[in-house]
Each structure stands twice: as C-alpha cells, then as structure tokens.
Amino acid sequence: MEIDRRDFLTLSGAATLALATEPVWAQTSKVEVRWLGQSATRITTLTGKVIVIDPFLTNNPKTPQQYKNLDALGQVDVILVTHGHGDHTGDVAALAKRTNAKVFGPAGLIATMVDLGWVPPEQAVRFGKGGTVTPLGPQIKITQVRAEHSSEVTVTDPTTKKSTTYPGGEPAGFIVEFENGFKLYHMGDTGLFGDMRLIGEYYKPDVIMIPIGGHFVMDPRDAAYATREMLKPRFAIPFHYGTFPVLRGTPQEYQAALGPTSTQVFPISPGDSLTF
C-alpha cells in the first residue's frame, strides 16, 4: 500500500486515514483524531475546536520530531488529563501556559497540579467520574469515566535528583461526544474491568483509543476481550504500546487476539490522523 503524504486513503465509508508528515490541520467538517504517541491525542471537532488529551510530547520517544515543538499543535481550546503519570502529564504545564487552554481532569489530580504551580487556578477545572463538562458549548460533551489504574504525581528535583510523590486523584478515561453525536472513548491507562460492559452499553462509543502495551495497562489479549465482548465499537485505535520496552504488546497481537469482528482496527503510527 503506497500512500503519498498528501493523499487521503478511504478505509471505509466512515473513516479516512491521513499519513501527514506536517501539521496541516484539516477543516473537513469531520472529526479529526491525530495520535501523537503513547496516549497523546489531538482532536479537532466538527466546528474546529481543538482538544488535546494527555500531552506528553517533548520527551516522548515516539512523538514525531515536528510535534515536539508545542507550537505545532496550533490552537488548543481544551486540555484533558487522564491521570498523574509523567507519560501523560509531561507537557501539561507548558501547553497550558502557551495556549491559555483550560485544563480538565480528575479532581485530585488537578488540585495537585494547581498546588505545584503547573496550572493557574483560574485555568484548572476539577471534575469527577460520571461528571460531564461542556467547555466548548453544549453540543460537545466530555464525560469522565472509570479507569483501572493508579494516579500519582512524581516530581524530581533537577539539582538533587531527589523525587517527591504527590497524590494524583483517581485515574480516568474520557468520552467525548461531538456535535453530530459521534463518540470517542479515550480510555487513558487501564486494566480490564467489568464495567467496560456498562460503558459500552450506556455510552455506545463509536471509536475507542485503547491501551494494549501490557505491564501497566491491558495487554493485547485483554484489550481484544474488552473490544469484542464489552465495548463493541465500530472503530478501534490501539495505543500506549512500544514507547518504552516494557510496553510490549503490538497492534498485530491485538488484531490476532480480536479475530473476526465487526470492529475496524486502525493500527496507525504516531503522527497519523484519522477523520470520521
């Protein structure tokens, strides 16, 4: 399959893959989802609002070089953070400062970020699992849901190398419902848990971004079970693998474990985008 970087490849009636190597933001009246490595994601809504989830870019070994310059993200309207680990929070402070975007996340995590001076209080919004916020207007709903993980914030003094760990609230995932009702479920970091079935039945996500790396999160077999038996989305984007050696799971193993299914998997690379 040969794809020119400016070509758009139609993968199904509903999704398009763009292997763009430069940040040209589509105004396609579609939802654009660009994966930037690990869990970092830049989403453009139908009306051009930009949501960045878990910005970990400048020190992310999988983030394409061009996105390590935070200006390459362009306008950012909202920043969402799933939990306190460095591979999710690395660039929150810098991006919040640069864009003035409000930062939303689990209440305990946001409290710590304010205390540490990462985010000014007026830019920080605490909310909890089950809560829905609409910072981009009533048509775009962001709901916080459970994740089975931990959340603490470890800060290392650059001079003494001494680390200090602070409480980071409860880990979470986010369901973003767009202007047309399409729903994306960014699962954050999570192990398999039974209420994924509830999330599948109740929220009916159209596309999931699902961790598959193992060790800290689900491995490909767990992720396949969650996808096939509980969440049953139309589309799945595997993430949180390969960034560090312990995150061994691969999209190929995920797809093999999934077997024949109605879910279409997009094993995209960091920097690639999909439109829905």
Instruction: Report the nearest approach of Zn ion to the CB of residue 211 (Å).
Output: 7
Sole binder of Zn ion in the list 32, 54, 77, 87 (CB under 5 A):
87
Question: Looking at beta carbons only, is 17 or 36 nearer to Zn ion?
Answer: 36
Instruction: Report the nearest approach of Zn ion to the CB of residue 81 (Å).
Output: 11
SS (HEC) of the chain:
CCCCCCCEEECCCCCEEECCCCCCCCCCCCCEEEECCCCCEEEECCCCCEEEECCCCCCCCCCCHHHHCHHHHCCCCEEECCCCCHHHHCCHHHHHHHHCCEEEEEHHHHHHHHHCCCCCHHHEEEECCCCEECCCCCCCEEEEEECCCCCEEEEECCCCCCEEEEECCCCEEEEEECCCCCEEEECCCCCCCCCHHHHHHHHCCCEEEEECCCCCCCCHHHHHHHHHHHHCCCEEEEECCCCCCCCCCCHHHHHHHHCCCCCEECCCCCCCEEEC
Work out whether 77 is an interface residue with Zn ion (CB under 5 A). no
Instruction: Report the nearest approach of Zn ion to the CB of residue 88 (Å).
Output: 6
What is the contact mask toward Zn ion in residues 181 to 220, using x (rule: CB under 5 A)? --------x-------------------------------
Instruction: Report the nearest approach of Zn ion to the CB of residue 144 (Å).
Output: 17
Report how many residues bind Zn ion under the rule CB under 5 A.
Answer: 2
Segment near Zn ion (CB under 5 A), from 58-66, 80-88, 101-109, 134-142? 80-88
Instruction: Report the nearest approach of Zn ion to the CB of residue 43 (Å).
Output: 18
Catalog residues that contact Zn ion under the rule CB under 5 A: 87, 189
